[in-house]
Amino acid sequence: MNAATTSLRLPRASEQPSFDAVVAEHLDSVYRYLVYLTGDRSAAEDLAAETFEKAFRSWRRFDPRRSAPRTWLCGIARNAAVDWLRAEARRRRREEIYARDFDEEQQFGDGLPGPVESALRQLSAGEREVIALRILLELDGPSAARVLGISNTACSTRLSRALKRLEELTPDVDR
Partner 1 sequence: MSTVDLLRAHAPSAPESLHSRVLALRPEPKRTRVRVRPAFVLAGAATLAVAAAVVHGFATSAPKTAAPPRHTPSRAFGSAGSAVQAQTKLAPAIGAVPAPSPGRLQSTSASLSVRVDDLGAKTTEATKIATRLGGYAQSVHYTAGGSATIDVRVPAGRVKQAIAQLGALGTIVAQQISIQDLTSQLERQSAQIAQLRRRVAALKQALASPSLPDAQRVLLQIKLSEAKRALAERLHGRAATVSAGATARISLTLETRRAAAAAPHHRGRLGRMLHDAVGFLAVEGLVVLFALIVASPFAIAFGLVWWYRRRATDRLLME
Q: How far is the CB of 60 from partner 1 (least distance, A)?
A: 6
Q: How far is the CB of 36 from partner 1 (least distance, A)?
A: 9
Contacts to partner 1 by CB under 8 A = 16, 19-20, 23-24, 27-28, 30-32, 35, 37, 41, 45, 48-49, 52-53, 56, 59-63, 65-66, 82, 85-86, 89, 107-113, 116, 124-127, 129, 131, 135-136, 149, 163, 166-167, 170, 173, 175
Is the Cβ–Cβ distance between 65 and 15 less than 8 Å? no
Q: How far is the CB of 16 from partner 1 (least distance, A)?
A: 6
Give the Cα separation of 76 and 48 in Å (integer).
Answer: 10
Pick 107 or 143: Cβ nearer partner 1: 107
Pick 29 or 143: Cβ nearer partner 1: 29
Is the Cβ–Cβ distance between 112 and 123 less than 8 Å? no
Pick 20 or 104: Cβ nearer partner 1: 20
Q: How far is the CB of 27 from partner 1 (least distance, A)?
A: 5
Pick 132 or 143: Cβ nearer partner 1: 132
Pick 12 or 60: Cβ nearer partner 1: 60
Is the Cβ–Cβ distance between 77 and 45 less than 8 Å? no
Q: How far is the CB of 164 from partner 1 (least distance, A)?
A: 11
Pick 117 or 143: Cβ nearer partner 1: 117
Query: Considering Cα of 150, then 151, then 155, then 158, what sign does the dihedral take?
Result: negative
Q: How far is the CB of 72 from partner 1 (least distance, A)?
A: 14
Chain mean position to CA 163: 15
